[in-house]
Structure 1
Amino acid sequence: MLIESFITALISTLLSPWGLSLAALGALLGIVLGALPGVSSTMALAILLPLSFSMEAHLAILFLLCVFVASVYGGSISAILINIPGTPGAIVTQLDGHPMAKAGRAREALVYALVASTIGGAFGLGLLVIIAPLLASVAMSFRSPEFAAVAIFGLVLLAYASPGTTVRGLLVGAIGLICGMVGFDTLTDVPRFTFDTRLLQGGVELVPLCVGLFGLAEVLKHLHASHQAAPTVNMKATQRTQIKVRSLLKRWKSMLRGSLIGAFVGAIPAAGSAIAVAIAYAQEMRFSKHPEQFGQGAIEGVVAPEAANSSSIGGTMIPMMTLGVPGDAITAVLMGSLLIHGLRPGPMLFAENPQMVSSIYAGFLIALLLTLIIGLLLMRWLPLILRIPSHVLLIGIALLCVVGAYAIRNSMADVYIMLFFGALGYLLHLLSLPSAPLAFGLILGPLLEENLRRSLILGRGSWDMFLNSPIAMSLLALSIFAIVLPFIAPLWVRFKSDLQRLKVPF
């Protein structure tokens, strides 16, 4: 049944000129925005999200998936050519990609990155298709205590994996939880945190928050660089060097290892692509017969991280689609699009709307194919986009943020919310606090509150429902362990060093 729906959705999209045109536009915009330094995949998705509001649900998801997948590859373009990663996942790619470019092998590095990204993405899609229905069928048996525990576990993992200390991540996540409580209480219909203003009675929408937090805040961060000269790119280095298919096939082990690591690390909520590519690069050095070549232009140093970077997309979508918990900040924005179109990610999505699930799978595959085709066709001219003056780029992004926030409900309230969270995101940056937990808190806050209150109502005020659920207790125990671990780890290291100093065998 799923295969038939997948094939039907794939054929209907490929035969639809409108759907195929939107997909191609999304892939092109994704590559361009991903290649621009400072414009991450999250930012690209956030500023283009409002364009999907007027589309049908399956077309909107197709468009955004193409932006998502293509921007992941786009980040490697600037990493290879000018040693500035366009996205966080491309940080490792520059270590060997840029030395290849300096040696006149830029086109070779770009093609290797594109092919590895396509193969890794296909592997991640395969894992998503296989694991997501199984995990969703298990999640169908979840009740309120389990969903409340999942929400807590997701928040803690994100705080644990965010830059800085876990306490800082939890603090920002708590702000997101409070933002999720703004508006009328769903049970008592009592206004909360509205400050007697009509602007907040409808609550804080996810899309304006994401546009401000990941779009406008990035503009504010990069304002100081708006007068810098455009980076110079050696165009000749992108127009020569023939890549043989045999040479690509010789790297299949590196692609496979990177794909495996990226998919499984990406499936861990809040782990993200940056961790996946770092692990893939380290493992590739360990397996290499010539580890001294890494950092000097090793092809495996480009292939493995790019495969991991792209395969992590499928991994991050697994918890989003099956549990309603975003795998990272990018899928949090993608989840906002589903919510805008009346689709709640989670196990019920598979039961109530299997056609949309098939459309997501088909859109993912189309995004990979279009990224490969467009990337190869534009290989010679892609470096030109790196010459766009930064001040022109920043002004355009700021305008898109304002227009996009207003287009959600044609309300200035959303614009004010976007501006507020843009300023807040910039403030968090100045304070060295992670911003992603805030968006996660807004998403998971209502899920946590609703299921926690329902559990207590059903249990007549008793917490026994959590104690009687092995799944809920396991998730809560893991959450407590993740919180306590940063405090225990230094003590353990100190204790171990004391034993070694005393020459106690350990």
Structure 2
Amino acid sequence: MNAVLAGLELVLRWDVILTILVASAFGLVVGAIPGLTATMAIALLVPITFFMDPIPAVGAMISCSAMAIFAGDIPATLMRMPGTPASAAYSDECYAMTRKGEAEVALGANVLFSALGGLFGTAVLIVSAPLLAEIALGFSSFEYFWLALMGLACAIFIGSGSPVKGLVSLFLGLFVAQIGIDNPAGVPRFTFGNSNLLGGVDFIPAMIGLFAMSEVIRTIAAGAPDWSVRQTSLGNPLKGWGRLIVKYWPQQIRGNITGTAIGILPGAGADIAAWVSYAMSRKFSKTPEKFGTGHVEGIIESTSANNAALAGAWVPALVFGIPGDSITAIVIGVLYLKGLNPGPTLFLNNPESIYAVFIIFIIANLAMIPLGLAALKAGTALLRFPRRILIPLILLFCIVGAYAVNNSAYGVVLMLVFGILGFLMEEHDIPIAPCVLGIVLGKMLEESFVTSMIKADGNLLAFFERPIAGGLGVMTLLVFCLPIWGALKRRRAAAT
């Protein structure tokens, strides 16, 4: 109880509340602009957090990402252009409702069930994270090796449509993680005689490049076209909220559970949760023929799932230091910069900070309803903002953010290199998420493997001797083997 009260004291300060509100507004703006993802919003926000205390910095990250995930529904509904990948699964359904003159119903459902989904995911985070942290205190290098490997496996086979392209992305990330002198052998690797690379690749400029700079390059290459809004005025988004809750509560709960479970899986994220939930909604619906014609049922389940996944992704991030998605990958970097090193000891050494994070999640999701309703009214005006003005502003943010990490032009160079890399990857449909996971988990994977091999005197069976390590090992091998087995079965069936 003392830790909870201390967490409340950390959050209920004017500067923290103001930071949450400003970051929420920023997230709504970025999320509502097609192409500017929630991850990009977080990457652009990172340089500003350098000048904040830890709790306001984390509060800004949480509120910005929650609002950006929801705001992606606005252009998806009005223009059939999802603002973020998490809204892509049900953008056709939302747009079909707009064509029928029911945009206010679709957007109202997005606001309400996004907030409820976020609150459900937060409840799971509050309950499960401390319990998992107690278990994780007994983890050794063997368990952390399997966790890191499972995270990479999930990024390939769950978070990617093509496992081969996922592997390419993963190996790029693992290569980047090997650069520098910070390795078990203490030997410079892949520095090519450049002293700047001895310290490795700075994570923040790399993330800004992959997610923000790549979008700038893509928009410039496309000629920065403007967009047209389908509907210029909205009715009452509050219309029918009570009826929707009563009629579709099973879909909402199923979306919450699915989204949270997928969010906890490393590398999956809110967009995968939305696609899976939309498919489940259609499969189990009593009226599947209505899907695609502007049916709110699939929207409710999907929008509940992607916001629940956002909180679920924080479970492995806080407990094990393993990101659940690309957003928490960036957040982990900020936590380390602020001295809040993720892991089970964080729950022992800084319990008040953990409870502050939980409280911020609750505030952010509750604030989503009034702020989201206000954003719906301003959405059409925002979507008329010319891209030719917007892109230079984003480019300025990218340059300042990359430079501010070490007050060095080297950060800007890194950002440009990774911006080009991210652009080329997406042009060839190579997912970025496995690359990010490779960068984040590469060092943990190598260090835990080397440490474990030294402990076991080279005996590989030692990785399965501890009960938890053995269980994690079997699960990881299944993640690798089941997709291969499924592909072989499909090939055999096609041959016959």
C-alpha contact (below 8 Å) 1:122/1:311 kept by paired residues = yes
Q: Which moved more, 1:274-283 or 1:150-159?
A: 274-283
Residue number in structure 2 paired with 1:223: 220
Residue number in structure 2 paired with 1:249: 245
Secondary structure of the residue aligned to 1:429 is: helix
C-alpha contact (below 8 Å) 1:121/1:313 kept by paired residues = yes
Say yes or no: does 1:278 pair with 2:278: no
Secondary structure of the residue aligned to 2:83 is: coil
Residue number in structure 2 paired with 1:62: 59
Q: How does 1:328-339 map to 2 (within 5 A)?
A: 328-339=325-336
C-alpha contact (below 8 Å) 1:64/1:334 kept by paired residues = yes
Q: Which moved more, 1:243-252 or 1:17-26?
A: 243-252
Q: Measured at CA, do residues 392 and 6 of structure 1 come closer, stay the same or move farther in structure 2, by a change above 3 Å?
A: farther
Residue number in structure 2 paired with 1:50: 47
- What is the rounded CA distance, in whole Å, between the counterparts of 1:287 and 1:492 in structure 2? 26
Secondary structure of the residue aligned to 2:275 is: helix
C-alpha contact (below 8 Å) 1:319/1:326 kept by paired residues = yes
Amino acid at match of 1:5: A
C-alpha contact (below 8 Å) 2:107/2:237 kept by paired residues = no
How far is 1:429 from its partner? 2.1
Match among 68, 71, 74 for residue 68 of structure 2: 71
Residues 33-58 of structure 1, C-alpha deviation per residue, up to 9 Å, x if partnerless?
Answer: 00100011111111111111110111
Q: TM-score, normalised to structure 1's length?
A: 0.92
C-alpha contact (below 8 Å) 1:105/1:241 kept by paired residues = no
Q: Which moved more, 1:204-213 or 1:113-122?
A: 204-213
The alignment covers a number of residue pairs equal to: 495
- What is the rounded CA distance, in whole Å, between the counterparts of 1:433 and 1:20 in structure 2? 39
- What is the rounded CA distance, in whole Å, between the counterparts of 1:294 and 1:467 in structure 2? 47
- What is the rounded CA distance, in whole Å, between the counterparts of 2:96 and 2:8 in structure 1? 40
Residue number in structure 2 paired with 1:504: none
- What is the rounded CA distance, in whole Å, between the counterparts of 2:363 and 2:10 in structure 1? 12
Amino acid at match of 2:84: T
Q: Which moved more, 1:172-181 or 1:77-86?
A: 172-181
- What is the rounded CA distance, in whole Å, between the counterparts of 1:95 and 1:33 in structure 2? 21
How far is 1:301 from its partner? 2.4
C-alpha contact (below 8 Å) 2:267/2:433 kept by paired residues = no
Residue number in structure 2 paired with 1:441: 438
Q: Measured at CA, do residues 10 and 294 of structure 1 come closer, stay the same or move farther in structure 2, by a change above 3 Å?
A: farther
In structure 1, the gaps of 5 or more residues are: 502-506
C-alpha contact (below 8 Å) 1:108/1:241 kept by paired residues = yes
Amino acid at match of 2:7: A
Match among 8, 22, 29 for residue 10 of structure 1: 8
Q: Which moved more, 1:97-106 or 1:438-447?
A: 97-106
How far is 1:7 from its partner? 4.6
Secondary structure of the residue aligned to 1:222 is: helix
Q: Which moved more, 1:473-482 or 1:130-139?
A: 473-482
Residues 126-159 of structure 1, C-alpha deviation per residue, up to 9 Å, x if partnerless?
Answer: 0111111111211111101111111111111111
Q: Measured at CA, do residues 350 and 240 of structure 1 come closer, stay the same or move farther in structure 2, by a change above 3 Å?
A: closer
- What is the rounded CA distance, in whole Å, between the counterparts of 1:25 and 1:93 in structure 2? 28
Q: TM-score, normalised to structure 2's length?
A: 0.94
Say yes or no: does 1:36 pair with 2:30: no
In structure 2, the gaps of 5 or more residues are: none
- What is the rounded CA distance, in whole Å, between the counterparts of 1:50 and 1:163 in structure 2? 29
Residue number in structure 2 paired with 1:407: 404
Secondary structure of the residue aligned to 1:231 is: coil
Secondary structure of the residue aligned to 2:383 is: helix
Secondary structure of the residue aligned to 2:294 is: coil
Match among 83, 87, 90 for residue 80 of structure 2: 83
Residue number in structure 2 paired with 1:171: 168
Secondary structure of the residue aligned to 2:377 is: coil
C-alpha contact (below 8 Å) 1:226/1:390 kept by paired residues = no
Residue number in structure 1 paired with 2:487: 490
Amino acid at match of 1:230: W
Q: How does 1:204-219 map to 2 (within 5 A)?
A: 204-219=201-216
- What is the rounded CA distance, in whole Å, between the counterparts of 1:245 and 1:386 in structure 2? 26
C-alpha contact (below 8 Å) 1:322/1:345 kept by paired residues = yes
Q: How does 1:369-380 map to 2 (within 5 A)?
A: 369-380=366-377
Secondary structure of the residue aligned to 2:131 is: helix
How far is 1:78 from its partner? 0.7
C-alpha contact (below 8 Å) 1:266/1:315 kept by paired residues = yes
C-alpha contact (below 8 Å) 1:72/1:87 kept by paired residues = yes
- What is the rounded CA distance, in whole Å, between the counterparts of 2:477 and 2:416 in structure 1? 35
**Identity over aligned residues, as a percent?**
34
- What is the rounded CA distance, in whole Å, between the counterparts of 2:237 and 2:31 in structure 1? 24
Amino acid at match of 1:350: F
Match among 390, 407, 412 for residue 387 of structure 2: 390
Say yes or no: does 1:93 pair with 2:85: no
Residues 93-146 of structure 1, C-alpha deviation per residue, up to 9 Å, x if partnerless?
Answer: 323211222222222221111000000000000011111111121111110111
Residues 327-354 of structure 1, C-alpha deviation per residue, up to 9 Å, x if partnerless?
Answer: 1112111212112212221222212221
Match among 261, 264, 269 for residue 264 of structure 1: 261
C-alpha contact (below 8 Å) 2:97/2:103 kept by paired residues = yes
Secondary structure of the residue aligned to 1:256 is: helix
Secondary structure of the residue aligned to 2:357 is: helix
Secondary structure of the residue aligned to 2:72 is: helix
Match among 416, 419, 431 for residue 419 of structure 1: 416
C-alpha contact (below 8 Å) 1:164/1:433 kept by paired residues = no
C-alpha contact (below 8 Å) 1:113/1:306 kept by paired residues = yes
Q: Which moved more, 1:269-278 or 1:308-317?
A: 269-278
Q: How does 1:99-248 map to 2 (within 5 A)?
A: 99-236=96-233, 238-240=234-236, 243-248=239-244
- What is the rounded CA distance, in whole Å, between the counterparts of 2:5 and 2:240 in structure 1? 32
How far is 1:186 from its partner? 5.0
Q: Which moved more, 1:467-476 or 1:413-422?
A: 467-476
C-alpha contact (below 8 Å) 2:179/2:200 kept by paired residues = yes
Amino acid at match of 2:28: I
Say yes or no: does 1:355 pair with 2:347: no
Secondary structure of the residue aligned to 1:91 is: helix
Q: Measured at CA, do residues 246 and 372 of structure 1 come closer, stay the same or move farther in structure 2, by a change above 3 Å?
A: closer
